[in-house]
Structure 1
Amino acid sequence: MIAVITGDIVNSENYNSSDWMPILKNYLESLGTSPLDWEVYRGDEFQVKLPVDKALKVAIHLKAQIKKVKNLDVRMAIGIGLETYAGSSVSESNGTAYKRSGRMFNTLKASKLNLEIATGHKHHDKILNLILKLGLDFMNDWSVVSAEIVTIVLNNPNVSQKEIAKQLGIKQSAVSQRYKRARLDLVLNMLDFYQELSKEIKE
């Protein structure tokens, strides 16, 4: 079982690629090697293959990374399933994970959502996509500073607010405010729930 994320950059046509491409590629490079594990193609689209348990964290982390650029966002479909053919690149590989991710990605724009998941299990999909819909209600509104704090915490979940304050050169009370505005407690709860549920997902 693997997870495949298919995505694109929302609003990229109003920016130079140099505003967001290095952020996207730097993050994807931390996940594996291109083109076996990830690829960027057709200008602003990308695909990445990764372990099932990491999929949602990577998607949210990627969203936060891109939202550090004002008015940019990312649209992503997570497909979970099998890889039945491993090609020389992600885009040449095949299996239920790729098909679910690709098909769901093609419906995202019409459904006006920018993060959904397809596991092949209706019950799991219903629960996870409801949680994601509720989460997107605040994640879509992350400001640049909220996105920044989310990326710091997802990079290092054990980092203290005191350490973040020192890193950003702001007061600890300001870090606490940013935590609350980003709804980081809910993000971490959502990731914990996904981790538990992902253990039940079987083809």
Structure 2
Amino acid sequence: MIAIITGDIVNSQEHPSSEWMGVLKEYFSRFGPSPMNWEIYRGDEFQLKVTQDNALFVAIQIKAILKSIKGLDVRMGIGIGLETYIGSGVSESNGPAYQRSGRKLESLKDSRVNLSIATGNEFYDRTLNLMLRLALDFMDDWSVVSAEIIALVLDEPNASQKEIAKKLGIKQSAVSQRLKRARLNLVLDLLDYYENQIKEI
């Protein structure tokens, strides 16, 4: 079982790709080489292959990275399932994980929801997607500074508030306030819930 994240960047036409392309490629390269593990195509769409266990973590990190750039956001469909055909690149490979991910992204464009998951299990999908919609209520509203601090904390989960403050050039009390505003505790609870649920599927 693998996870495929298919996404498109919201408001990309209002930003030069030089603003976001480099940071996105740098992040994606952690998951292996392109085009076997990830591809950016049609200018502002992408596909990324990850493990099912960290799929939601990766999707939230992508969202935080892109929302750190003023005016940008991202829409993503996560598909969990098998990979039955490996092509010359991730966009040419196939299987239930790919199909679920692509269909999810298409359905999101009409529903105005920015993140959804398809595991092939209707019961788990309903619960997970309800929780995602509730979380998006604040994640879609992350300011640049909120997104920036979430991206940093997810990247360095063991960093102290003092170390984060030093990195961002702000006071430690400001770190605490930003984390509270970004609802980090709820993000971590959601990720914890997802990790437990995905083991059951």
TM-score by length of 1: 0.98
Map 1:18-167 onto structure 2 (within 5 A).
Answer: 18-167=18-167
Distance in 2, Cα, partners of 1:166 & 1:15:
29
Aligned residues, how many? 201
Q: Which 5+ residue runs of structure 2 have no aligned equivalent?
A: none
The Cα of 1:166 is off from its aligned counterpart by 1.4
In structure 1, the partner of 2:180 is 180
- Rounded to whole Å, the distance in 2 between the matches of 1:82 and 1:115 is 21
- Counterparts of 2:48 and 2:169, CA distance in 1: 34
Aligned residue type for 1:189: D
Q: Distance in 2 between matches of 1:43 and 1:194?
A: 31
Judge which range, 180-189 or 164-173, deviates more: 164-173
Match of 2:170, SS state, is coil
* Deviations, residues 75-104 of structure 1 (Å, cap 9, x unaligned): 000000000111110011110000000111
Tell me, what secondary structure is at the counterpart of 1:150? helix
Question: Which SS does the other structure have where 2:147 is aligned?
Answer: helix
Shift of 1:109: 0.9
Counterpart-to-counterpart distance in 2, 1:188 and 1:91: 30
> What is the CA–CA distance in structure 2 between the aligned matches of 1:24 and 1:185, rounded to whole Å?
25
Q: Which runs of 4+ in 1 moved over 3 A?
A: none
The structural deviation recorded for 1:9 is: 0.4
Partner SS state of residue 71, structure 1: coil
TM-score by length of 2: 0.99
- Which residue number corresponds to residue 197 of structure 2? 197
Shift of 1:156: 1.1
Mean CA deviation greater in 23-32 or 189-198: 23-32
For 2:43 and 2:157, the matched residues in 1 are separated by 32
Gaps of 5+ in 1: none
What is the identity percentage for the equivalent residue pairs of Structure 1 and Structure 2? Answer: 66
1:33 and 1:123 mapped to 2: Cα distance?
35
Structure 2: distance between partners of 1:42 and 1:167 = 35
SS class of match (1:4): strand
Q: Distance in 1 between matches of 2:169 and 2:10?
A: 31
The amino acid that maps onto 2:64 is A
The separation in 1 between residues aligned to 2:169 and 2:6, in whole angstroms, is 36
